[in-house]
């Protein structure tokens, strides 16, 4: 499982950017830029979400990667421990700085955990800081580079494994799954997400072209693709 939930905390509680999803997007969407439903990051809600992840993740081999911004990591990160065996806290260094009223944000976090099993990752050369450039003026709000998901899958998947992302967004994780020869299940509550994802996935399968992320965001992390 590799997922990037839409947390509400950063926007709600820090009141950045007038409570809108922070960032610059090609299409501002409706409702003053609130393009999609955010996932209310209460512990109770998160607990329920993680219980469902645990239910569907294979006990014998399952690995899970969950992305966090700094706000949600501090409020919800510890809840992951009550469901899974947390093995690493990975830092995604976005190389270029972003928004921020104090120190400007340049990173996000990824918790890597297993479902009570001891299956290892592909090899022990991978660092826990990943450098992939952020996407500017993305077509979908909070669109992540495919390479971030590819790094997760390169470390954890084998051919024909099934990857699940319950917060599909623009299907960046789906493109990574296809590149890693995996099957894929994704879902999202937003119609726009399903529309963009369907077109992106079909075009990629037909032509090998990614119609949303046209260039690689990798900087120097060749280690992940060796």
Ligand X SMILES: C[S@@+](CC[C@H](N)C(=O)[O-])C[C@H]1O[C@@H](n2cnc3c(N)ncnc32)[C@H](O)[C@@H]1O
**Contacts with ligand X, residue ranges (CB under 6 A):** 4, 6, 36-39, 140, 142-144, 166-167, 169-170, 172, 187-190, 193
| CA distance linking residue 179 with residue 11, whole number of Å | 33
Residue nearest to ligand X (CB): 169
C-alpha distances (whole Å) from 154 to each of 149, 205, 222 are: 8, 19, 12
- Rounded to the nearest whole angstrom, what is the least distance from the CB of residue 37 to ligand X in the complex? 4
Instruction: Count Cα neighbours of 42 within 13 Å in the Cβ-side half-sphere.
Output: 4
Which C-beta is closer to ligand X: that of 11 or that of 114?
A: 11
Closest approach of Cβ 171 to ligand X, in Å? 7
- Residue 120 CB, shortest distance to ligand X, in Å, is 26
Q: How distant, in Å, are the alpha carbons of 26, 110, 132, 201, 218 from that of 92?
A: 23, 7, 7, 25, 12
> In terms of CB distance, is 55 or 124 closer to ligand X?
55
The H or E element containing residue 67 is strand 63-68
CB closer to ligand X out of 7 and 224? 7
Smallest distance, ligand X to C-beta of residue 108, A: 10
In degrees, rounded to 5, the angle at the alpha carbon of residue 222 between the alpha carbons of residues 219 and 226 is 165
Nearer to ligand X, 114 or 142 (CB): 142
The CB-of-129 to ligand X minimum distance in angstroms stands at: 20
Of the pair 65, 140, the CB lying nearest ligand X is at: 140
* Residue 79: CB atoms within 10 Å: 17
């Amino acid at each position: 499982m590799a997922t990037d939930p839409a947390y509400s905390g950063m926007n709600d509680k820090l009141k950045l950017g007038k409570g809108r999803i922070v960032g610059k997007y090609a299409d501002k969407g409706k409702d003053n830029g609130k393009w999609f439903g955010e996932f209310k990051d209460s512990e109770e809600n998160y607990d329920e979400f993680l219980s469902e992840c645990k239910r569907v993740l294979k006990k014998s081999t399952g690995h899970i990667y969950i992305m966090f911004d700094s706000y949600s990591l501090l409020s919800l990160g510890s809840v992951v421990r009550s469901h899974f065996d947390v093995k690493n806290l990975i830092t995604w260094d976005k190389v270029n700085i972003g928004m921020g009223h104090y120190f400007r944000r340049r990173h996000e976090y990824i918790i890597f955990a297993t479902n009570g099993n001891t299956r290892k990752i592909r090899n022990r050369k991978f660092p826990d800081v990943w450098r992939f450039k952020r996407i500017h003026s993305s077509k979908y709000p909070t669109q992540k580079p495919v390479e971030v998901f590819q790094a997760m899958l390169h470390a954890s998947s084998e051919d024909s494994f099934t990857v699940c992302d319950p917060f599909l967004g623009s299907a960046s994780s789906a493109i990574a799954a296809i590149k890693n020869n995996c099957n894929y299940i994704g879902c999202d509550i937003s119609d726009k997400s399903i529309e963009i994802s369907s077109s992106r996935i079909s075009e990629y399968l037909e032509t090998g072209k990614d119609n949303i992320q046209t260039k690689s965001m990798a900087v120097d992390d060749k280690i992940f693709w060796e």
